[in-house]
A and B are shown apart, each in its own frame.
Chain A
Amino acid sequence: MRIEHKRARLVFHIRDLKLEWAIEPRYWRNPLLAVAGLALLPLVIISKPDYLTLLTTANIYAAVAIPLAWQMVGIGRMNFGPQFFVGIGGFAAALLSIHLGWGPWQTLGIVILLGLGFGLALSPLTTIAKGLYFSLITLVLPLIFLEFTYVYTDVFKGETGLSGIAPLVNFGKIRTNYLVSCYFSLGLMLLSLYIVDKVLRSRIGLYEAAINDDEDVAETCGLNINGWKILCFTVTSVMIAVTGWFAAHYYGTFSGITYLHLPFMVKILLIVMIGGRGELYGSIVGAYFVAFLEQALTILGPVHYIVFPFVLLIMLSTLREGLYGLYRRHKYREYYPTIRVRKR
């Protein structure tokens, strides 16, 4: 392997593979500003643990929505059951923690392996089932898992769920725990964002955009579409399973009714759509918006159960490009490097 610095890029030569990494600071400005804003927010509201929990919840939503947004592009299909992998991660962490007394870092490895295994096992669906069939199959998967948790109540504890899971952090002070957990969730979400952003800006992003547009044509252009779809589905499944692991260790309880049921799925899909229809950064905007809106509407009392989906549905029908589309319409700038052909 050889590394060279060339025109504001790091060029990695690995055998006959050549990879480039742009290190121009002008690409960093906006993401850095956004990250700084998100990092300061918990410190601003440190006196209100409720709001810290709210931020953590928003980060969890975003950590599911970001890989889902990538998956929608990468496999060219709509997955209606991302929460299946939240369930895999959450239940695996909970069962290992409760029965074997494992801590969060010990359960993480198993959760990754399980996410990988189930992701790989289900990934052929991306090549076999098209369009509506794929959506229907993925919609049914978490519901089957939910039924499974009811049938084996002695293991999964049915509706009440599993409790007594080892906490993620324990500093002795509740407020510190909330704050550290909030930053932990922010880190998890930003890590997801960083991975997906890097992938989508690379040649893999181009391949996946081509698959999303017309997979038959992409294949006649020399792209191994099945390989890339399987890879995308498996990696995103692992990422979503890790979010389930985080949720289980953060809340200390994990139940199928909370994560595997349709309301959670609808919330995640609405986040992706309201944020900006498969837009990566839109997923974060959508997650924060939905989490805060849900909290804000609780002042209406029980009627908020009706008002909340109603507001989201209105937004879905009126904001065609989602909330991120509002920003992009005014601020969008094409940072695609302009290439000039030198004639001499």
Chain B
Amino acid sequence: MLLKIQDLTKSFGGLVAVHKVSLSIEKGEVVGLIGPNGAGKTTLMNLISGYHKAISGRIEFDGADITGARPHKICRRGISRTFQIPRPFPDLTALANVAVGVLCGKHRPHMSYSDGLLDASHCLEFVGLFGKRNTLARDLTLYELRALELARALATTPKLIMIDEVMAGLNPGEASRAIKLVRRMIEEYHITIFWIEHVMKVIMEATERVIVLHYGEKIASGPPQEIVHDPKIIEAYLGEKIA
């Protein structure tokens, strides 16, 4: 078991964003996380990455309790993430953006600054941004920013990458390139993926198991083919009448 979450709860004032969510992810799995807007998907991701602190519950990663740990410690343990709205370091070049991930992520002995830049250039080449290595991140297109975020996440040498809506805002051509990129990442690096996505086609094709959140609670978990025919899920997405 790579990631194990037990009864995780988080509220903002009176609003319970995540309520007693329990889930587990095995090593090498590609797990999708779906749910309507405001279901608590990104909050759950923020809790796992240490960005928010849970009010109750427990998060275990690779056998260690990481509940309440600082984000940098969680990252160094092997959890990396991308953001729903890309958040690069805008005044740094693409190479420097990824180099931050290389040098700050998992502790790698005998890694000098120059070695880090070289490793970062490998990551950039993997996502197809090597030609833009000296371009400032603020000058990159949306697709390039998404690729940069994936490269930066990959650069930290993670065991688990949490991808937050990589398709959002991309045109069909870019979206298919992004899917190919994530697939190649899974195939070549054998990384466990926890993938938030609204595009059901992607979830159906790319994931092995899907977890559904609704109003902060886990309402279903299972193979994507079963999930899409579950009346509870259809009701959550489309309303009681249609279900």
Contact = CB atoms under 8 A, between A and B. Distances in A.
Contact of B122 (A9, A11, A213, A341): A341
B87 interface: yes
A4 to B, nearest CB: 12
Interface in B111-160: 111-118, 121-122, 125, 130, 133-134, 152, 156
Contacts of A341: 118, 121-122, 125, 130
Interface stretch (A130-138, A145-153, A221-229, A242-250): A221-229
Contact of B101 (A209, A219, A222): A222
23 contacts: A11-B112, A16-B109, A18-B109, A18-B111, A203-B103, A209-B92, A209-B96, A210-B100, A210-B104, A212-B91, A213-B90, A216-B51, A216-B87, A217-B87, A219-B72, A220-B80, A222-B101, A222-B106, A337-B114, A339-B117, A339-B118, A339-B133, A341-B118
Interface in B43-98: 49-51, 70-72, 75-76, 80-81, 83, 87-93, 95-96
Given A334-B134, A341-B125, A209 B89 contact: yes
A206 B111 contact: no
Contacts of B201: none
Contact of B72 (A225, A334, A337): A225
A221 B70 CA distance: 11
Contacts of B112: 11, 18-20
Which of A213, A222, A341 has the most B CB atoms < 10 Å from its CB? A222
Contacts of A216: 51, 71, 87
Contact of A219 (B71, B91, B106): B71
A219 B114 contact: no
A217 B153 CA distance: 11
B105 A222 contact: yes
Given A206-B103, A214-B89, A218-B104, 10 more contacts: A20-B113, A202-B113, A203-B103, A210-B92, A213-B90, A216-B51, A221-B105, A222-B156, A336-B95, A339-B133
A222 B87 contact: no
A207 interface: yes
A159 B80 CA distance: 57
Contacts of B122: 341
A219 B50 CA distance: 10
Contact of A223 (B87, B100, B113, B134): B100
A20 B110 CA distance: 11
A13 interface: yes
Contacts of B30: none
A203 B113 contact: yes
B89 A220 contact: no
A18 B115 contact: yes
Nearest to B122: A341
Interface string A3-23: 000000101010011111000
B178 interface: no
B113 A220 contact: no
Given A209-B89, A217-B87, A222-B156, A13 B110 contact: yes
Interface in A173-190: none
B99 interface: yes
B89 to A, nearest CB: 4
> What 4 A-B pairs have minimum CB-CB distances, sorted nearest first?
A16-B109, A222-B75, A213-B89, A222-B104
Nearest to A334: B134
**A-side interface size class:** 20 to 34
Contacts of A217: 83, 87-89
A18 B152 contact: no
Nearest to B118: A339
A123 B85 CA distance: 32
Nearest to B98: A221
Given A20-B114, A336-B134, A339-B117, A213 B72 contact: no
Nearest to B46: A220
A260 to B, nearest CB: 33
A214 B130 CA distance: 23
Contact of B104 (A19, A212, A214, A221): A221
A206 B96 contact: yes
A221 B92 contact: no
Given A223-B100, A223-B104, A213 B91 contact: yes
A210 B89 contact: yes
Contact of A206 (B49, B90, B99, B109): B99
A199 to B, nearest CB: 12
A206 B152 CA distance: 14
Contacts of A334: 134
Given A18-B111, A18-B115, A221 B51 contact: no
A19 B95 CA distance: 19
Contacts of A222: 72, 75-76, 101, 104-106, 156
